[in-house]
Structure 1
């Protein structure tokens, strides 16, 4: 009879078709049953992730007229914060990109998982571009226009011209067929990938900003208007990386 340690090691590589698997199903030890139940839950999760992945791929391909068409997904990170840039990304993925099974809305994933996926996305991309829109531009144009301009730059800097562009809830002024998709990162693999690239790039930027201005804790809240962040703005005053047209910074500067 296999030890529980041996069972655990074998299950890490098991498909369920192994000759010893039937034997394991009949193992009455509580520890053995817990291990197989855990394995079955993991397999069920993988099946659901694979199904969701295939649905996202089909969604993207539904906008194509032929096999050669390239789909670009576009998304942003950082429209709401009081500090830091808004970051946008455009990405064209290889067909199917099975390495990206499990890719989901960036807000639903841990920072570690997002960083892991960002590497895989770059490895599976035909082309991608990440654009940083400055605080100065955000204050000059307003956040909506600044984000739109940044998204446009992301698409135009792709080294492969896409046949169709899918954007998360935004219309872009470009001469390429474009579709604005509500909650696009939940439906489109390309948009979900762009969301991850934008989010990880912005988080890295805010972590670097924290090294220069540790008193604001940018690595903790990424510039969002948390109670702690606002208290520190009041205490230390806004810096050049704070958005001066956003409240409460606008009111603080008037005092």
Structure 2
């Protein structure tokens, strides 16, 4: 029998990306992260968080590494300690109009505009925003940066809350369970119930169910 596969330990965030900005005199560094880009329904949700620049070790982690209960507890702690934070959503109409990347960028810029005090620099999870602010956009920043991990917690918990509300308003799709992603139960519900108003019509699985538009028909 082969030996059990080794599971690598979870990555612990630190302040490496923030420190690069601190060295240049930018001390209010906002972490930015999103939740829901790959979902077929509901919004994409973006959070921006400025943590106190004290190089403190926080318990914040990438939301994907945590249980729902742990995410809720840590999201409350983010809101308690942050210098400023904001959450914004891009709903399906905006996603269909701008595409998912454009809508994510738009929601991120709205969240950043709401921060008070405002940020002097940014760290994002590979989200290369068009902004005059100094920007670091490394991959996996939600696992590597305290600021981005904090943003991931707010984005994930707020989006999950909204998907519970959408589950009550649109029963039968299972939004509370799969949060709008392409799970088998979601596919089956779409076949049974059709496309709802909170589905992203530009996404290929949804577009196929809707069929060709009048302009596309021969």
Q: TM-score range by the shorter chain?
A: 0.7 to 0.9
Tell me the alpha carbon deviations over residues 129-162 of structure 1, each in whole angstroms, 9 at most, x when there is no partner. Answer: 1001111000011101111111111111111121
| Deviation of 1:98 (Å) | 4.9
Corresponding residue of 1:64: 22
Greater gyration radius: 1
Partner secondary structure for residue 84 of structure 2: strand
CA contact (8 A) 1:210 1:219 kept: yes
From the two aligned structures, give the one with the greater helix fraction.
1
Distance (Å, rounded) in 2 between the aligned partners of 1:180 and 1:164: 11
CA contact (8 A) 1:243 1:249 kept: yes
User: What runs of 5+ residues in structure 1 fail to find an aligned partner?
Assistant: 1-47
TM-score, normalised to structure 1's length?
0.75
CA contact (8 A) 1:74 1:89 kept: yes
Which of 178, 181, 202 aligns to 2:135? It is: 178
Corresponding residue of 1:90: 48
Which of 67, 75, 94 aligns to 1:118? It is: 75
Distance (Å, rounded) in 2 between the aligned partners of 1:221 and 1:100: 29
CA contact (8 A) 2:12 2:143 kept: no
CA contact (8 A) 1:100 1:120 kept: no
Corresponding residue of 2:39: 81
CA contact (8 A) 1:88 1:151 kept: yes
User: What runs of 5+ residues in structure 2 fail to find an aligned partner?
Assistant: 1-8, 213-218
CA contact (8 A) 1:100 1:121 kept: no
| Deviation of 1:110 (Å) | 0.5
CA contact (8 A) 1:100 1:117 kept: no
Distance (Å, rounded) in 1 between the aligned partners of 2:37 and 2:16: 29
Distance (Å, rounded) in 2 between the aligned partners of 1:98 and 1:216: 42
CA contact (8 A) 2:92 2:200 kept: yes
Tell me the alpha carbon deviations over residues 87-111 of structure 1, each in whole angstroms, 9 at most, x when there is no partner. Answer: 000000123475832x211111001
Map of 1:96-115 to 2, 5 A cutoff?
A: 96=54, 98=56, 100-101=58-59, 103-115=60-72
TM-score, normalised to structure 2's length?
0.87
Corresponding residue of 1:161: 118
Distance (Å, rounded) in 2 between the aligned partners of 1:145 and 1:220: 27
Distance (Å, rounded) in 2 between the aligned partners of 1:185 and 1:80: 16
- How many residue pairs match? The answer is 204
CA contact (8 A) 1:93 1:124 kept: yes
* Residue 246 in structure 1 maps to residue 182 in structure 2: no
